[in-house]
Amino acid sequence: MFNLIRTRLRARAGRHGDAPRNRDARLQLRLPNPYGGRPWLSATVAFSAAPHARGETLRLRAHVDSCLRLTDAEGSPSLGHGPVARRSLADSGRHAAASLVRGVLSRLPAERLAPITARRRRSWIDVQFSTAPLDAGADALTPEPLRRVYGGGLPRLAAGEPRVGVWSGPAGGPAGGLARLVLLQFDERDLGAASGFNLNASAARLVEPASAADAEAAETGVN
């Protein structure tokens, strides 16, 4: 299967001529806060492809930042507020949606919303896949911040199995919170075959008090 993936990627790179170019794409999404201020949720997904003479390296990165604040941000009007005469059709739609959300949330018991609104949650995903021959295998794809934690890569505990590293503990810093990191690696030395397949995937999650988002907004001047 891995040889088939590698063959298709090489064939696709070859169709772009003798000098294939890198490809990049980025997508950003936001869920506005109906009370105004910072979005309830912002997400960024980035994809890149770097062709090589004997293969291709693909990378997918994603970052999600969510904090459900149910109070008006100081100096920021609630979503949709403004003179009625100046509202466009889109503005009117946003105003109606924001009013509906605020009305629904106002009817819910505060204690049921507290576990959601009291926390800021951030997640990062970084997946790199390469069919190019790499001397260091999957270790060569380790992002630099993780390289400082795990060194050159994860230890090989058993032949024919992927390497997995898991860390969980206090996030540190003045805000406190909890952090979790999962790292997955495998290449042809783990698979026991000359497949030319290299994969490095990492996922991190940070959960901290919502007050940390307020402090960050105050420092950066972003509401």
The dihedral sign for the CA sequence 13, 17, 18, 24 = negative
6 touches 195 (CB < 8 A)? yes
CA dist 26 and 49 (Å) reads 12
User: Residue 64: pLDDT band by 50, 70, 90 thresholds?
Assistant: very high
> Of the given ranges (72-76, 115-119, 157-161, 203-207), which has the lowest mean pLDDT?
72-76
Highest mean pLDDT among 17-26, 72-81, 168-177: 168-177
Q: Residue 68: what pLDDT?
A: 83
Q: Tens of pLDDT along 157-167? A: 777 778 888 88
Q: Tens of pLDDT along 195-217? A: 678 888 999 999 998 876 655 65
209 touches 120 (CB < 8 A)? yes
Q: Residue 77: what pLDDT?
A: 42
pTM of the model: 0.69
**Domains identified in the chain, total number:** 1
Q: Tens of pLDDT along 41-59? A: 999 999 999 887 778 889 9
> Average pLDDT for residues 114-120, to the nearest whole number?
78
CA dist 61 and 42 (Å) reads 14
Domain interval for residue 202: 2-220
The better pLDDT of the pair 219, 68 is held by: 68
Q: Residue 76: what pLDDT?
A: 43
CA dist 32 and 111 (Å) reads 23
In sequence order, what are the residues at sequence separation of 6 or more whose Cβ sits closer than 8 angstroms to the Cβ of residue 188? Answer: 137, 194, 195, 196, 197, 198
Q: DSSP 3-state helix, strand, coil percentages of the chain (rounded to 5)?
A: 30, 35, 35
